Amino acid sequence: MAERLQKVMAQAGVASRRASEQLILDGKVTVNGKTVRELGTKVEPSDKIEVSGEPIDSREKLVYFLLNKPRGVVTTTNDDKGRQTVMDIVDEPERVYPVGRLDYDTTGVLLLTNDGDLANRLMHPSYRIDKVYVAKVKGIPTNEQLEQLRHGVTVRTKQNGRYTTFKAAPARAEITSTNTKNHTAIVKLTIHEGKYHQVKEMMKAVGHEVLKLTRERYGMLDLAGLTPGEYRPLRYEEVQALKAGKQYRKSAGRW
């Protein structure tokens, strides 16, 4: 199917659509060896497009999706117990992978991409991506328990199939509501790490079982407009912001 040249360039990850238009106007783009300067030009998949002499199809098209992971779905590429996986939901021609993990019963923001470089960077704690979790917990945490979370608690975690202990970095921790009748509370925790069952273990370390868990935010990405099980492609600006390690800032709006 014939598509507009700037759209094909943006999809190939060359630049945003607008920046691709500028490259065309600047005479940097050739189609089948001929410089093209008209923005309306349509190209076929068989056409050879080059930007500054570099073929754009020499690199894999990089794609990025944001899923609101529902409960009852595993975050692996396939499951030996035959359970539904996030890959069954994000049904796209490219082979994408989840960036990090959410538990079977955890809902919320999950990024999937075939951009291995970015995925590796995002998963590294030194990148310090804010991960905001909202946990419904049994009991109502005291101020001292919240302070413990803010100083960093020692938790049990699993690494390469083995249990070990690990000192979690200081977290942002606050109670957003309490239910004195049911004796439960909603706790908001912001962390940068992503160890196995980290939030559940952090809450357990201060004496509270997690009953329900949602990841509300990942960097600047939140669940706006997505019900559980829905996903959308990231906008070009969102990918750039993730690459730059930009975070959400309350005072500055979305980021």
Main-chain phi, psi angles of 22, to 5 degrees: -65, -40
- Please, what is the minimum distance in Å from the beta carbon of residue 77 to ligand URA? 17
The site map against ligand URA for 202-231 (x = CB under 6 A) is -----------x------------------
Binding of residue 86 to ligand URA (CB under 6 A): no
Nearer to ligand URA, 20 or 106 (CB): 106
Q: Does 68 bind ligand URA (CB under 6 A)?
A: no
CA 11, 13, 15, 16 dihedral sign is positive
Contact between 110 and ligand URA by CB under 6 A: the answer reads no
85 with 74: CB under 8 angstroms?
Answer: yes
Stretch that binds ligand URA, among 37-45, 83-91, 173-181, 196-204 (CB under 6 A): 196-204
Q: Provide the β-strand partners of residue 121.
A: none
Residue placing its CB nearer to ligand URA in the complex, 79 or 103: 103
Asked if residues 30 and 50 have their Cβ atoms less than 8 Å apart, the reply is: yes
Residue 97 or 236 having the CB closest to ligand URA:
97
d(C-alpha 77, C-alpha 90), whole Å = 11
Of 137, 149, 199, 220, the residue at the interface with ligand URA (CB under 6 A) is: 199
Least Å distance, CB 198 to ligand URA, is 4
- Closest contact distance (angstroms) between CB of 2 and ligand URA is 44
3-class DSSP state for residue 90?
coil
Of 71, 188, 192, 197, which lies in the binding site for ligand URA, with binding defined by CB under 6 A? 197
Find out whether 29 and 22 touch, Cβ atoms under 8 Å: no
State which of residues 5, 99, 102, 122 lies at the interface with ligand URA (CB under 6 A): 102
Q: Is 103 designated active site?
A: yes
Rule CB under 6 A: is residue 67 a binding residue for ligand URA? no
Catalytic residue among 103, 105, 117, 222: 103
CA angle (189, 150, 104) in 5-degree steps = 30
Which of 47, 50, 79, 103: binder of ligand URA (CB under 6 A)? 103
Q: Site for ligand URA (CB under 6 A): which residue of 6, 68, 106, 148?
A: 106
The secondary structure of residue 199, as a DSSP letter, is H
CB of 224 to ligand URA, least distance (A): 20
Q: Give the start-end residues of each E strand in 127-230.
A: 131-138, 154-159, 162-167, 172-179, 184-191, 210-218, 221-222
138/128 Cα distance (integer angstroms): 29
CA-based Rg of the chain, rounded to a whole angstrom?
22
Which token pair is 253? 């709006």
- Token pair belonging to 131: 């991960």
198 lies in the binding site for ligand URA (CB under 6 A)? yes
Whole-angstrom distance, CA of residue 133 vs CA of residue 183:
20
Interface with ligand URA (CB under 6 A): 102-103, 106, 197-200, 213
For the annotated catalytic residues, the residue numbers are: 103
